[in-house]
Each structure stands twice: as structure tokens, then as C-alpha cells.
Amino acid sequence: MDFKYSEEEERFRQELGEFLDKELTEEICRQNWEDKGVWEAGRDFCRKLGAKGWVGMSWPKEYGGGGRSITYDFILLEELGKRGSHYPLDVGLMVGNTILRHGSTDLKKEFIPRILKGEIEFCLGYTEPQAGSDLASLKMSALEDGDYYIINGQKTFNTECHYAEYHWLAARTDPGSTGYKGISLFIVDINSPGISITPMWTLSGERTNEVFYDNVRVPKRRLVGEKNKGFYYVLEAIDHERITVFYPELLEFTLNALIQYCKQARRDGHFLIEDPLVRDSLGKIAIEIEVAKAVTQRAKWMAGSHMETTYEPTMVKLVVSELAQRLANTGMEILGAYAPLAEDSKWAPLKGRIGWLYRSCLIALIGAGTSEIDRNVLALRGLALPKG
């Protein structure tokens, strides 16, 4: 395995880095699904990246992509992560891959160019009150009525719904089915009549949502792929999410900020960094981040080499999400009583970033598959252990 960039990829990384150093502001860094939501600054930034052809660089040229190796997509995410940022409209990148693999030609022509230009965002419509980790138990119904599906039901924890244009919706199209069979995937205009959205506020201050469908009419042409095959498409999209959302460079950015703070802040007349316990704690996290990078690079290398991944994306998600919690715990211990202070307090170290991470990292242990589910996947697919 060779994780090194080619000369051409290195040139792109350098050019991209120079652009990000100029254009990427703290406001844009905060505009993502887990923090402030995406508004005009974040959208304008995505449009600038799209205008340069730096979004979906591995996607087919016939739909506006770059036709390059997927390595270029990973470089974009890595360089953003090094600067403490997501790609603001990252759900669109997730679903775009599924549209390319399974969507009709009309869906590809309608949505792929707009995703690449940074014009639209999607929200994930998977979870229901009784269907979280077990998505196969979802009950939202989609029944055929001429050229439409009539959809009824409720979704919960749909974070992007208050600013996205489209709902990436899983619903049951075979009313007599149970389990993973009979589920289909739709692209729904979030402003369709019959859709109502109610905010839900998380521990970290992030907004997520409950979404209600009351006889919502969705054209059949908005069905993604084959009817009753949607559960398989969702699993594919979740695997892609695990590689492209959970990347250790974001954690490295926070660790570096914490290290710099420890070099400048004093306690009992000494710089924090001089405390051997502090150095030991920071060093352990730094080592774990390097391990997480290796795990992530292996999964990316396999994807770039067109190799089938079975458990590797799950390993990435598990390692990075749990490492985020350990980083948050370490930061709380080092900063002590100052750590929980909100960012609007003048006494809050790092503008309250550690306290925010401590509260927000909990969702990463649940979203895109709980740690318990992830360990089951690794046991079955990675270690070939028998089902209990």
C-alpha cells in the first residue's frame, strides 16, 4: 500500500491549500450540519469550489465532474479538515454517489450538476421514532397513486431539513413487507405540500428536526433506483458517509489548537505544557490520531484502487468517533473548570471549542451506526465470527 500523493496530486493539494488559506473563514468553518447549519457564507464558499471544478472531481465528466481519481476528493476533505472545516454541503456529496450508481439518467441530469456547482443540499430521512439503529423496522409508507407516490409518516433526527432543498427519504413501498425488504428511496422537495418540520435541540446547541409527512405527493420519477431496493442503497450511502464525514484531520486541528493553548496558558506560575501529565495526555491523543489516519488512509486507498470494502468504512467511523470523545475528555481534564464555559464567555479557552466538542461528540457515537452496531459489523465481516 502506497499512501503517497503523485506529483500531480501534490500540486493540486498545494493549489487548494493556498485557496483555502485565503477563502476559508471561521464563519464558514462553523457552517456545517453539526454546528451552525449552512447559510449564505457556506453556500457561497461551495459555489466557489464548484466553479473551480474542485467538487466531485472523481465524478463522470458527462455530468460535470472531473473524471479524476477519487484521491482528489479525499484531498479536498483532508485539507478542509486540517483547517477545522467540513465541506458545508457534504450530504449532497454522499447522496450524489448513490444517484450516480443507481439513479435514472433523468435524476443524474437533474441533480448531479447542481450538487457539483454547490447549488443544493439534501437532508437524510432515515431514522424514525421506533427505527434508529434498526432502520429495517421503519414504517413510513409510500403507496402508488397513478404517476405519484403518496407518502405518510414521521422521521426524526433529520438535521439538515431546515436549510436543505431536498429530503433523501427512505419509505416502505410494500405495505405487506417486513424488515429490509420493501423499502425504497426517494428524492423529495422539502417544500412539498404536506411536509411540516419541528425543531429538536441537542445538548451541544445543534438543531435537528422531526419531519412529518401528511399525504405528500411525490412523482414516480423521483424514485431512486429500483422499487423495494432502497435499503441496500442506504447501506451504500452510509458506508460512503463513514469515509467522507469521519476524518481524523478535524480532530488533529482541535488537538493542535489545544497544544498551542497549553504553551501559552499558565497555572500555578507554570505553562500548562510544562506539566508532565498534560504532555503525556496530549501525546497519547497525538499517537491515536496517527493511528486513525492510517486506518482512514487504508480505506481511502482501497476505494481509490477500486477494491471492495466490507468492514473498512465501519472501522474508520468507529475509530474516529470514539477518538473524538477521548480527545474531548482529555481537553476537559486539562482545562479544568474553564472547559465547560460557552463561547460567549471571555474566560472560555479556545472560544469554548473543547466544551462544545465534549457535548457534540456524543452524536458521532450514534449517527451513521452506533458503536455497538459497528462492533457487530467488524466482528461479522472483519473477523468472520459467528452470529451470537
Q: What is the pLDDT of residues 291-305, one digit of tens each?
A: 999 999 998 888 877
Q: Kindly provide the b/e burial profile for residues 130-151, where b requires at least 16 CB atoms within 10 angstroms of the residue's own CB.
A: ebbeebeebebbbeeeeebbbb
If you ran DSSP here, which 8-state letter would residue 182 be given? T
- Split into its structural domains, the chain has a count of 3
Angstrom distance (rounded) from CA 213 to CA 136 = 19
Note whether residue 107 is domain-resident: no
Which DSSP helix (H) or strand (E) runs through 113?
helix 105-116
Among 273, 365, 281, smallest CA distance to 317 is for 365
Specify whether 129 is located in the same domain as 82. no
As a whole number of Å, the CA-based R_g of the chain is: 21
What is the pLDDT at residue 357? 94
Of 212, 233, 254, the residue that ends a domain is 233
Specify whether 221 is located in the same domain as 258. no
Specify whether 61 is located in the same domain as 129. no
Among 148, 180, 314, smallest CA distance to 240 is for 314
Note whether residue 266 is domain-resident: yes
Specify whether 325 is located in the same domain as 198. no
Look up the pTM and report it: 0.91
Specify whether 261 is located in the same domain as 321. yes
What is the pLDDT at residue 1? 58
Specify whether 56 is located in the same domain as 177. no
Bridge partners, residue 171, by sequence: 184
What is the pLDDT at residue 203? 85
Which DSSP helix (H) or strand (E) runs through 195?
strand 195-201
User: What CATH number did the domain enclosing 28 receive?
Assistant: 1.10.540.10
Note whether residue 115 is domain-resident: no
Specify whether 251 is located in the same domain as 366. yes
Specify whether 224 is located in the same domain as 265. no
What is the pLDDT at residue 382? 85
Q: What φ, ψ does residue 43 adopt, rounded to 5°?
A: -65, -40
Decide: 358 and 205 in contact? Cβ < 8 Å.
no
Residue pointed to by grid coordinates 412539498: 192
What is the pLDDT at residue 240? 78
What is the pLDDT at residue 306? 80
* 55: containing domain: 7-88
Note whether residue 350 is domain-resident: yes
What is the pLDDT at residue 58? 94
DSSP string, 1-19: ---PPPHHHHHHHHHHHHH
Note whether residue 104 is domain-resident: no
Specify whether 64 is located in the same domain as 129. no
User: What CATH number did the domain enclosing 183 receive?
Assistant: 2.40.110.10
What is the pLDDT at residue 4? 78
Amino acid at 137: S
What are the respective helix, strand and coil percentages of the chain, to the nearest 5?
Answer: 50, 15, 30
What is the pLDDT at residue 209? 95
The parts of the chain modelled with pLDDT lower than 70 are 1-3, 388
Specify whether 71 is located in the same domain as 131. no
